[in-house]
Amino acid sequence: MGVAFVLDGRSVTVEPPTPLTSLAQVLRETLLLTGTKLACGEGFCGSCTVHLDGEPVLACLTPIALVDGRAVATVEGLEPDGHWSALQQAMAERDAVQCGMCFPGMLMTLTAFLRDEAEAGRAVTADSVRAALTGNVCRCTGYQAIVEATLDAAFDAAASIPGPEART
């Protein structure tokens, strides 16, 4: 059974062991894209978060068969034109990273969150960032620098286009 999909902008076809093999396992063990982490394997930590047709999903709970014909984006594809996203930049400037295992999932969750909030014209607040992170566990940082970096990124994005004050 071949599964064909678009991965970070490139077409790939894989032959998974079973249709139920998780997308996370295929990414890590078949395609050797280890940026997507697999910390709990049960959908409680968010470290395996990727985008499926633009929406964040837990790769550990996504059977590979469901990916056929669709588009997957991973943390490795976050900077296709060679430039960091505003969110990556803000995380680095805030020195938010510690061990780093949760950040791929955090970035995928928050990238979609910032896009959705901007499209909906909603102001990004510390509370809304914390709510967005409900499915992402970080054991090192206590989350504060991650929340602040996300606010920075939202502020930077909002500052570049006319609009309401993003940071409240």
Partner 1 sequence: MTASPIGDSVRRRDAPDKLRGRTRFAIDRGEPGMLHVALRRAEVAAARLLRVDTAPALALEGVHAVVTEADAPGLYGVGVADHPLFARGVIRHHGEAIAAVAAETAEQARAAAAAIVVELEPLPAHLTMAEALAPGAREIHPDWRSYEELVAGGARAGNVAWEATAERGDVDAAFARSDVVIVEGTYATGRQNQASLEPRVALARYEDGRFTVETSTQYPWAVKAAIARQLGVSPAAVRITVPPVGGGFGQKFESSIEPVAAVLARQTGRPVRLALSREEEMRTALCRENAEIRIRSAVTADGEIAAREATVLLDCGAYGGEQTFLTSLVTHTLMGSYRLGAVRLRSRAVYTNTAPTGAFRACCGTYCTFALERHTDDICAAIGADRHAFRAGAVIGNGDVGPTGQVFEGDVLAPMLARMNELRERRPGPPADGRLYGTGVAVGTWFIFAGPSAATVRLNPDGGATLITAGVEIGSGSLVQALPQIVAERLGIAPGDVTVAAADTDAAGFDMGVGGGRTTVSLGAASRGAADEVRRKLLEHAADLLEAAPEDLLLADGEVRVAGAPASRRTIDEVVAHAHAVSGPLAGDGSFTGPGLRAAPGCAAGHMIEALDLPVFAVHECDVAVDPDTGHVEVLDYRVVQDVGRAINPRAIAEQIQGGVVQGLGYALHEEITFDEHGQVRQGGWESYRLPLASDALPVRIALHEGAPSVGPHGAKGAGEVPILNVAAAVGCAITDAIDRPMTRLPMTPVRVLATILGHEQPPALPHISTGGGR
Report, in this order, helix, strand and coil percent for the chain, each rounded to 5. Answer: 40, 15, 45
Minimum CB distance to partner 1, residue 22 (Å): 13
Closest-CA residue to 5 (of 71, 76, 104): 71
Q: Which is nearer to partner 1, 3 or 104 (CB)?
A: 104
Token pair listed for 43: 């959908």
Among 3, 7, 33, 86, binds partner 1 (CB under 8 A): 33
| 47 contributes a contact to partner 1 by CB under 8 A | yes
Q: Which is nearer to partner 1, 62 or 141 (CB)?
A: 141
Question: In the window 75-104, what residues touch partner 1 (CB under 8 A)?
Answer: 75-76, 78-79, 84, 88, 91-93, 95-104
Piece of 65-73, 115-123, 138-146, 158-166 that binds partner 1 (CB under 8 A): 138-146
Q: Which is nearer to partner 1, 101 or 118 (CB)?
A: 101
Among 7, 107, 114, 151, binds partner 1 (CB under 8 A): 107
Across 34-163, the runs of DSSP E, i.e. the strands, are 49-52, 55-58, 71-73
Cβ contact 26:16 at 8 Å: yes
Q: Which is nearer to partner 1, 53 or 79 (CB)?
A: 79
Site size for partner 1 (CB under 8 A): 52
Determine the longest span between alpha carbons in the chain, in angstroms: 51
Q: Are strands 10-14 and 71-73 parallel, antiparallel or unpaired?
A: unpaired
Instruction: Name the CA radius of gyration of the chain, rounded.
Output: 16
Q: Rounded to whole angstroms, how far apart are CA atoms 84 and 149?
A: 14
Interface positions with partner 1 (CB under 8 A): 28, 33-42, 44-45, 47, 74-76, 78-79, 84, 88, 91-93, 95-104, 107, 129-131, 133-134, 136-147
